[in-house]
Copies of this chain bind each other. A is one copy, B any other.
Amino acid sequence: MPDQTPPRGYCVPLSPEGKSSLNPTPPWHYASDCIAVEYWADPAAVAALLPPGMTLDDGSAGRAFCWFLDWQFTGEQDELTDPARYQYREAFILLDAVFEGMPVTYCPYIFVDNDAALARGWTQGFPKKIGSVFQTRSFPVPSLAAAPLAPGSRFGASVSAHGERIATARIQLEEKVDDPTTVFNRPTTIRRYFPNLVAGLQGTPAVDELTLSLVDDPAMVGMWAGSAELRIPEVEGEEIHRIAPLRVGRGYRFSFAYSVSDLRVLRNYLA
């Protein structure tokens, strides 16, 4: 038998043409509708989630955002026309923090309803679990069911995992936000972590890096702000309730797009 071309793919499973891979090689392109709620949690509980070298931001200790996103993904092969595989919903928390003097956000918890999204997330450092995520949509039709982008419109959002409600949010639109960067202006940091199973090494991961999410061509469009509610109850098998809201700020609704082609390693914890 002649030499065999080894199986290939950006991630598992590897296969002869690489088509079985959960994801294509970057660049990856994303478009979404988003609901995000600003809130304040117990600063000590926030600090307890930060990775080594990262500290609370004295200027905004305990400040967090709870995000809900309806995503559409595509690679370079029109993946968006296969929505059963490449459309997904996501919810996550971003905590205000500081790393080496740089104001950042850090993502401790994130849920998606799709395995390709989970695999991309782990590759970046997003600690994704599978969940069930929903948000009210806005439709360009006249209807009580349409949730128009207009003052008074109400939107809800929720994330559940294994049949338990992780978080529930509601917002009511009040006014447009002309400049989204007045609200969202910190880079996102995450922890890229892959464990070992060999006996004796189970306490030492194979990969343990603090990384900075790099996004190409980010665009936030059609942002509205308004009043907000947020609940993060305690459920068995999760610790997310430790950063439940003590106080809730504003809610935001907007569309969001970017591409991903790179990642920056801020610190290799194994070095």
Contacts and interface: CB of A to CB of B under 8 A. Distances in A.
Contacts of A236: 82
A115 B134 contact: no
Contacts of A19: 237-239
A83 B158 CA distance: 8
State how many copies of this chain the complex holds: 4
Interface in A91-139: 108-110, 114-115, 118, 122-124, 127-130, 132, 134-137, 139
A116 B127 CA distance: 12
A48 interface: yes
Interface residues of A, number: 118
Contact of A259 (B6, B48, B85, B144): B144
A257 B81 contact: no
A233 B257 CA distance: 35
A135 to B, nearest CB: 6
Q: Which of A139, A140, A143, A191: most chain B CB closer than 10 A? A: A143
Given A72-B139, A142-B217, 12 more contacts: A13-B108, A83-B156, A84-B132, A84-B134, A84-B160, A115-B118, A118-B130, A141-B219, A163-B163, A194-B194, A194-B207, A198-B263
Question: 6 tightest A-B contacts by CB?
Answer: A160-B163, A12-B127, A13-B127, A81-B156, A143-B257, A141-B257
